[in-house]
Amino acid sequence: MSKIQVVILAGGFGTRLSEETTKIPKPLVKVGKYPIILHLMWHYAFYGFKDFIICLGYKGDLIVNYFKKNKHNYLNIKFVKTGLKSLTGERLKRVQKYVSETFFLTYGDGLSDVDILKSYKFYQKNKKIGLVTAINPVERYGILKLKKNNTVYDFSEKPKNSTHWINGGFFIFNKQFFISKFIIISIILSILVVGSHPMFFNLVISEIKCDKSILRLRESSISTISS
């Protein structure tokens, strides 16, 4: 459908899944018969986006070897070595010269049923520098509401939080993202490192001086392989 590239961040150490990642990088951990990264690429390809830039780091050679052994000729894949210990911002900066005017960005360990085409149309309609998906997370614990005499009058089993939105991990950016006068690139890209931290959106909006140049598309069915 489009030559817009999908940049996949696949260079992290994957320490939260160390029982697997001592041998292979996290994007190669299998879900069913296939690695996470391939499921992710299939998802984008389903919507017509088949050009990928994979940011390599930890055990990146294994990712390259996987795709050499397992041919997917309908996918156009460019591998870029972005450093072993590079943070997210540095990895993205190192692929700047390869991306088109508009590009997708996502993490190599997150799977979702997010509608990529819907997101892209929403981004196009609003003409902003970038778009991020947002999730209204479910609370980790059941919530009790108590009266002054300690009587429980309401109990909600892990309800959705009505006020907090967290980073869903699926982004769309215009290349102006790298040069916008509203963005100090080293700061905003470092902010990307916080990943699913609930303050992500507030920090980004603060750094672009409330220019509203980054949109938020609300999605609810996103999961990340992280435990």
Does residue 81 fall inside a structural domain?
yes
pLDDT of residue 224: 34
CATH number at residue 108: 3.90.550.10
Separation of alpha carbons 177 and 130, rounded Å: 7
pLDDT of residue 110: 85
**49, 56, 6: which is closest to 66 by C-alpha?**
56
Do 175 and 102 touch, CB atoms closer than 8 A?
yes
- Show Cβ contacts of residue 170 under 8 Å, excluding neighbours closer than 6 positions: 104, 105, 106, 110, 112, 114, 116, 119, 132, 133, 219, 222
pLDDT of residue 147: 83
Q: Domain range holding 191?
A: 2-136+164-224
Does residue 25 fall inside a structural domain?
yes
pTM value is 0.74
Q: Mean pLDDT in each 10-residue stretch from start to end of the chain (227 residues)? A: 85 79 88 94 94 94 94 93 87 89 91 88 84 76 80 76 74 80 40 33 30 44 34
Indicate the residue type of 180: S
pLDDT of residue 184: 41
pLDDT of residue 80: 95
Does residue 108 fall inside a structural domain?
yes
Does residue 96 fall inside a structural domain?
yes
Q: What is the DSSP code string of 164-210?
A: --EEEEEEEEEGGGGT-TT--HHHHHHHHTTTT-TTHHHHHHHHTTT
Q: What would the pLDDT profile of 186-227 be if each residue is shown by its tens digit? A: 334 333 333 333 333 322 332 333 334 445 444 433 333 332
Separation of alpha carbons 57 and 105, rounded Å: 16
Does residue 141 fall inside a structural domain?
no
Does residue 156 fall inside a structural domain?
no
Does residue 99 fall inside a structural domain?
yes
How many distinct structural domains can be found in the chain?
Answer: 1
pLDDT of residue 75: 94
Does residue 155 fall inside a structural domain?
no
Q: What is the DSSP code string of 11-79?
A: -S--GGGHHHHTTS-GGGSEETTEEHHHHHHHHHHHTTEEEEEEEE-TTHHHHHHHHHHS--TTSEEEE
